[in-house]
Chains A and B, each alone.
Chain A
């Protein structure tokens, strides 16, 4: 604390003594305008070689104090190229004309809590996605919005269920048993991406317990509203994210919400209407005659007598009936922003409801954002960011089920299409005699409710104090206090009337889950900038304190009377509470040095962090970072800029909460509590995984900025991998937690942006990205193993961690050799094959065409290679229920012969986004919404088409939710959908 106090003391002292001692300056006023002479608000104007800056207001005008003599003003504005204008000695007015930066080559990239650098100088391949690129086609969650846009990010949804559930993997899988999620930071606040199960397992019994990782949960970053985001910056690994210390190993996603720009109030109103439709069907078989039905019943199903429902000359398309019945979706988005010279505000709100394809499943979101900025005096800048979010979703039942059979996909796999499940008889859906528990998904969809209700607040107060300010130097202090707090309430209600409920002898199930989560952080930093004619040196330093806590309480009541919705009335009651509390504290310091006429940029930084989850909670772990970039002064022909860059950094991945404890779980025996040692031996000296990343690359611009190429090579080494390793059970334990492995990922990333056509009314902007990752486990202190709980069987395909393999290896039995001696069977040896679940490479193709008032935008997402385990196939094959019975037979035949028939190629090409926008002519817009206002009409689709060899519903699948290993297990998931929205967008 002493350090902190003296730091603040210095700040106060400097503030009081600082005097602006600039001699002989003059006031220059000016205008910033675009190519067509339109005013550009919010452009940043700086006198080159000094710290003097000003901001253009709504009409593009600005005033700045300029030192004597001829000076150069530099204007910066997102979406425009950096522009320099000379002010002659004695001149007091200037006009700065900025050209559009179509490829967005000039962006400010965040390098620390309070520091940024122009992307021209950035030493990392940092991907920045702006609001404009995010919003091409409406998406439910930001992960959907990012798919296909960031080279090196593999973003995969877990199922088609509404409301989210997606995993972001940056530069490959970088952990085995520790966290798999990148770190999400919203306006300086570390936010939760927890996946909270609703207790669906209490119905499906997919795994053990009230809740289970097979609950098909949403990871809660889904709560963020894409509409309120200004930009997303993706730091893909340690070399860029070292400043975030022991949570940055999986990369950092820095999200900035929208802020107001000074000027008259500007209102943005968007109204969307749309529809979700099933985008892929397995196609169930039609039975054309009674004899075909009888043959199926007798020979395929092994049933006696005749089928329990006599064959009818009808063929119900269960998929269309069940996944096609919801009305349209809407989204209303309203925002206003503006402000005076000292005050800016952005107030936004959204209300949306996505009615998904499965009956009675939906995703509803309301959010309000109020971001206010206030300049107090000339030195104190306050910013308050507030987001209130409410999401409500019901994702229905899907995924793995054991007993009873309740997953719709599972039920359809045993039900012939001549049975009418989807129409009520005497007011009730019929029982399904083809399924042992008589389950009918149509009844379940009507009776079983699983609403997950989240109220969330993400807010921060950002106080920036300009402590000292001279022509050459500035010293700023920033204090960010932020919180991400949410309350998650789920109320799973399955009444005794649901046919499957009788199966366990306890008809009726209610599970409530109340989870409260609070992430709070406090960030105090200082930044000193020294600008001379030869160099700019930025020194920043600070400390960060975080507290993350969560408490989940589940109540389950089983065997409930009809008509009761209170968990209290369950005859059999169960309880579960799960808590965590993590306290982190970090110091950091960073020096950035820009010299040689802004050509050479050097960075050195260090973060020292301790955390309560580490074995030694007082020890500071050190995460350094070094980076350099150099813009070549001699350029080949047609080249406008060429930068080479190299960066090195270290980051960590924290042990899970509780890893250091050997617990004594409590149970009840005859009214007394008893504690028995857990089977897992905690490790009192557990430490974070350490990831060391080196990346090198070059960024080039050609043809006057008409084309840009970025190429990056990286090597990511992770050591001290946290493992749950098997031990001799005679020790009284089954597993112990240790730091005991190392792995390496190498890869390349390319992006090529072009404006092949840009003439008057017609322009075409094209972006292509490519990324690959090559992974190896380089060391294991324990024998090779299959991670527990995230797969089913080696017969189907399981993850397998072994030195020399890729960490995402998928292992499966694949055929056998039988030994015979004189015609008699002696023995059998199974073969094992290794597949790779991660894609070989990924590519994104985005194209934007403008013709007059028309805008056409498309995004293709291509994933090459990778295998998934299609166990949905193992549901439909033995019952020969697909229209393509040849596929059923071929696959099952191979499986029976011992082959890994359900490991299927999971590469794909998806048309992620396609949108067509028409901007009404100014005159017409003026007549409709008023002078100077704009009106756009947009027709946009998401996931409109998929091309894949995969035989299941969607190669983007994960029965076990977000998990590094064991992804891509496909068990009767919620099928994928495509969405089409029509939107009216008005600005006034």
Chain B
């Protein structure tokens, strides 16, 4: 009897134990099997927030703003913020090869959404179009930011492939810009298809923080602004100038700006920051960040934007650079700095971009008007008379851009390079080894994956 009982217990135990399935899901993360099993409203929310969160995390300010001679990051433990960025050349194996990998991760996040949105059974086709319109716009922004830092080196574009596929080929700057404009235009088409349908997900509050960008219709203004920005730099591409694009840029920027409204200059989608658990705080709040004296000293007397500049009690020196100035919004001592939102593309920037396009198109009167609109409203400075030569207009627009967009991205770095001013003729040598680096190198890992060298891409 006993034996039978034992055998019975054993069998029961084993049967119940063996009933378990053989597989175990990913217990620590959302698995990408989510993508294979088909999306729904909640997973679209998850992926969209993930994309926007990646986009927030990837905002790079320190590298381009150091290279644009607006700031220094002086850290005794990490001299490379100076030696690699305004010394150089940057080490492809080192950290200065950043602003690449994470952007491609963001592009993968966007592709996950774009490639799989068709499987979302509980979304209408208008909602699907709204989602792809958003995702393609953010994806275009990520591509554009890669090119901002690499310029004529080019970049891989056709990356939406399996992990085991051969790395995507590098394409030249002009072709990359073509691709981005087509992408941002297709996003516009998607947003138009969505029409009055709201986004099928809730957006971070940064989309209504200043101005409203939270519906496909209102988000289109951001999309057009981005299109105009990219078109402007395609028009100005040294190797393949496309002057016809100035008109296109003006048209798209105008669509992004709407009517000129002095109270709406800071309208933009914003990156939001918080000290709540799991959230991110403002990334440029950092005691090691200081302003380059060139940025601080060049501001014109009476400019209201001087509030961004704080004079230090004593100069700070490190790695061969010295400055007397801090960036006000980087100071940890100011409590609100940690949660201060950062704009992505303000109307002020769009107006100044339009001024640049107008200069390119030869319409100095329109350019002067746009420059003055920012100068008087944001700087509180007297208006310029209409410029009679492009160089003066360029000087003026670069000044306004510097202080209206200080420490928000790569705008000045891109402009200095596009106008041929990233050199010793216009800038002082910051360090003994300063080579006026105009682009970050391609990361070593990317080079290694391609057999150790990357041929210069040719345009087609």
Asked if B105 and A522 sit within 8 Å, CB to CB, the answer is: no
Report the separation of the CA atoms of residues A674 and B54 in the bound assembly, to the nearest whole angstrom: 9
| Binary CB contact string for chain B from 230 to 254 against chain A (1 if under 8 A, 0 otherwise) | 0000000000000000000000000
> Which one of B14, B51, B332 has the highest number of Cβ atoms from chain A below 10 Å of its Cβ?
B14
CB-CB under 8 A for A545 and B18, given A380-B6, A661-B32, A676-B109? yes
Asked if A1 and B15 sit within 8 Å, CB to CB, the answer is: yes
Task: Tell me if A428 is interfacial: C-beta within 8 Å of chain B.
Answer: no
Separation in Å of the B125 CB from the closest CB of chain A? 24
Task: Tell me if B2 is interfacial: C-beta within 8 Å of chain A.
Answer: yes
Asked if B449 and A727 sit within 8 Å, CB to CB, the answer is: yes
> Which of A491-499, A570-578, A628-636 lies at the interface?
A570-578
Asked if A730 and B32 sit within 8 Å, CB to CB, the answer is: no
Q: What are some 10 contacts across the A-B interface (CB < 8 A)?
A: A1-B14, A479-B10, A580-B27, A666-B29, A667-B53, A669-B279, A674-B47, A674-B53, A729-B449, A730-B167
Q: Which residues of B contact A658 (CB under 8 A)?
A: 26, 28-29
Asked if B31 and A669 sit within 8 Å, CB to CB, the answer is: no
Report the separation of the CA atoms of residues A429 and B236 in the bound assembly, to the nearest whole angstrom: 66
> Which one of A11, A664, A729, A730 has the highest number of Cβ atoms from chain B below 10 Å of its Cβ?
A730
Task: Tell me if B108 is interfacial: C-beta within 8 Å of chain A.
Answer: yes
Task: Tell me if A827 is interfacial: C-beta within 8 Å of chain B.
Answer: no
Interface members, chain A 464-486 (any B CB < 8 Å):
465, 479, 481
Separation in Å of the B255 CB from the closest CB of chain A? 27
Q: Name the one of A522, A610, A662 contacting B32, with C-beta atoms under 8 angstroms.
A: A662
Asked if B105 and A677 sit within 8 Å, CB to CB, the answer is: yes
Q: Which residues of A contact B156 (CB under 8 A)?
A: 728, 730
Asked if A661 and B31 sit within 8 Å, CB to CB, the answer is: yes
Separation in Å of the B435 CB from the closest CB of chain A? 16
Interface members, chain B 1-18 (any A CB < 8 Å):
2-4, 6-7, 10-11, 13-15, 17-18
Asked if B6 and A463 sit within 8 Å, CB to CB, the answer is: yes
Q: Name the one of B4, B11, B49, B107 contacting A4, with C-beta atoms under 8 angstroms.
A: B11
Separation in Å of the A88 CB from the closest CB of chain B? 38
Asked if B10 and A672 sit within 8 Å, CB to CB, the answer is: no
Task: Tell me if B119 is interfacial: C-beta within 8 Å of chain A.
Answer: no
Asked if B26 and A663 sit within 8 Å, CB to CB, the answer is: yes
| Binary CB contact string for chain A from 662 to 685 against chain B (1 if under 8 A, 0 otherwise) | 111111111111111111011000
Asked if A585 and B28 sit within 8 Å, CB to CB, the answer is: no
B residues adjacent to A (C-beta < 8 A): 2-4, 6-7, 10-11, 13-15, 17-18, 20, 22-24, 26-34, 45-54, 56, 77, 100-101, 104-109, 111-112, 155-156, 159, 161, 163-165, 167-168, 202, 204-206, 272, 274-279, 332, 443, 445-446, 448-450
Q: Which residues of A contact B164 (CB under 8 A)?
A: 736
Interface members, chain A 584-616 (any B CB < 8 Å):
585, 610, 612-613
CB-CB under 8 A for A732 and B47, given A581-B24, A661-B29? no
Task: Tell me if A847 is interfacial: C-beta within 8 Å of chain B.
Answer: no
| Binary CB contact string for chain A from 714 to 746 against chain B (1 if under 8 A, 0 otherwise) | 000000000000111111111010000000000
Task: Tell me if A579 is interfacial: C-beta within 8 Å of chain B.
Answer: yes
Separation in Å of the A197 CB from the closest CB of chain B? 16
Asked if A577 and B278 sit within 8 Å, CB to CB, the answer is: no
Asked if A672 and B22 sit within 8 Å, CB to CB, the answer is: no
Report the separation of the CA atoms of residues A376 and B111 in the bound assembly, to the nearest whole angstrom: 67
Q: Which residues of A contact B161 (CB under 8 A)?
A: 731
Task: Tell me if A305 is interfacial: C-beta within 8 Å of chain B.
Answer: no
Report the separation of the CA atoms of residues A898 and B165 in the bound assembly, to the nearest whole angstrom: 40
Q: Which residues of B contact A677 (CB under 8 A)?
A: 32, 105, 108-109, 112
Q: Which residues of B contact A666 (CB under 8 A)?
A: 29-30, 46, 50
Report the separation of the CA atoms of residues A658 and B109 in the bound assembly, to the nearest whole angstrom: 20
Instruction: Contacts A481-B13, A612-B23, A727-B163 known; list 14 others, CB within 8 Å.
Output: A376-B2, A574-B277, A577-B28, A580-B27, A661-B31, A664-B50, A667-B50, A668-B277, A669-B53, A674-B50, A675-B49, A676-B105, A681-B163, A729-B446
Q: Which residues of B contact A731 (CB under 8 A)?
A: 104, 108, 159, 161, 163, 165, 167-168
Q: Name the one of B106, B159, B204 contacting A669, with C-beta atoms under 8 angstroms.
A: B204
Report the separation of the CA atoms of residues A726 and B449 in the bound assembly, to the nearest whole angstrom: 8
CB-CB under 8 A for A663 and B168, given A479-B10, A545-B18, A677-B112? no
Separation in Å of the B375 CB from the closest CB of chain A? 34
Closest residue on chain B to residue A662 by CB atoms:
B32
Q: Which residues of A contact B112 (CB under 8 A)?
A: 677
Report the separation of the CA atoms of residues A669 and B13 in the bound assembly, to the nearest whole angstrom: 46
CB-CB under 8 A for A379 and B3, given A545-B18, A732-B159, A733-B163? yes
Closest residue on chain B to residue A575 by CB atoms:
B277
Q: Which residues of B contact A545 (CB under 8 A)?
A: 14, 17-18
Q: Name the one of B4, B47, B56, B448 contacting A726, with C-beta atoms under 8 angstroms.
A: B448
Separation in Å of the B452 CB from the closest CB of chain A? 9
Asked if B14 and A617 sit within 8 Å, CB to CB, the answer is: no
Report the separation of the CA atoms of residues A670 and B341 in the bound assembly, to the nearest whole angstrom: 12
Asked if B3 and A610 sit within 8 Å, CB to CB, the answer is: no
Q: Which residues of A contact B279 (CB under 8 A)?
A: 668-670
Asked if B163 and A15 sit within 8 Å, CB to CB, the answer is: no
Report the separation of the CA atoms of residues A292 and B229 in the bound assembly, to the nearest whole angstrom: 65
Report the separation of the CA atoms of residues A573 and B450 in the bound assembly, to the nearest whole angstrom: 43
Task: Tell me if A704 is interfacial: C-beta within 8 Å of chain B.
Answer: no
Q: Which residues of B contact A57 (CB under 8 A)?
A: none
Q: Name the one of A524, A617, A681, A736 contacting B22, with C-beta atoms under 8 angstroms.
A: A617
Separation in Å of the B401 CB from the closest CB of chain A? 29
10 closest A-B pairs by beta carbon, nearest first, are A732-B108, A674-B49, A663-B29, A674-B50, A728-B449, A670-B204, A668-B278, A728-B167, A729-B101, A669-B53
Q: Which residues of B contact A379 (CB under 8 A)?
A: 3
Q: Which residues of A contact B449 (CB under 8 A)?
A: 726-729
Asked if A583 and B50 sit within 8 Å, CB to CB, the answer is: no
Task: Tell me if A949 is interfacial: C-beta within 8 Å of chain B.
Answer: no
Q: Which residues of A contact B159 (CB under 8 A)?
A: 730-732
Q: Name the one of A522, A580, A670 contacting B14, with C-beta atoms under 8 angstroms.
A: A522
Report the separation of the CA atoms of residues A840 and B352 in the bound assembly, to the nearest whole angstrom: 69
Asked if B26 and A730 sit within 8 Å, CB to CB, the answer is: no
Report the separation of the CA atoms of residues A667 and B106 in the bound assembly, to the nearest whole angstrom: 14
> Which one of B4, B26, B112, B202 has the highest number of Cβ atoms from chain A below 10 Å of its Cβ?
B26
Separation in Å of the B191 CB from the closest CB of chain A? 21
Closest residue on chain A to residue B3 by CB atoms:
A15
Q: Which residues of A contact B167 (CB under 8 A)?
A: 728, 730-731
Separation in Å of the B42 CB from the closest CB of chain A? 10
Asked if B101 and A679 sit within 8 Å, CB to CB, the answer is: yes
> Which one of B17, B33, B100 has the highest number of Cβ atoms from chain A below 10 Å of its Cβ?
B17
Asked if B204 and A672 sit within 8 Å, CB to CB, the answer is: yes
Asked if B22 and A583 sit within 8 Å, CB to CB, the answer is: yes
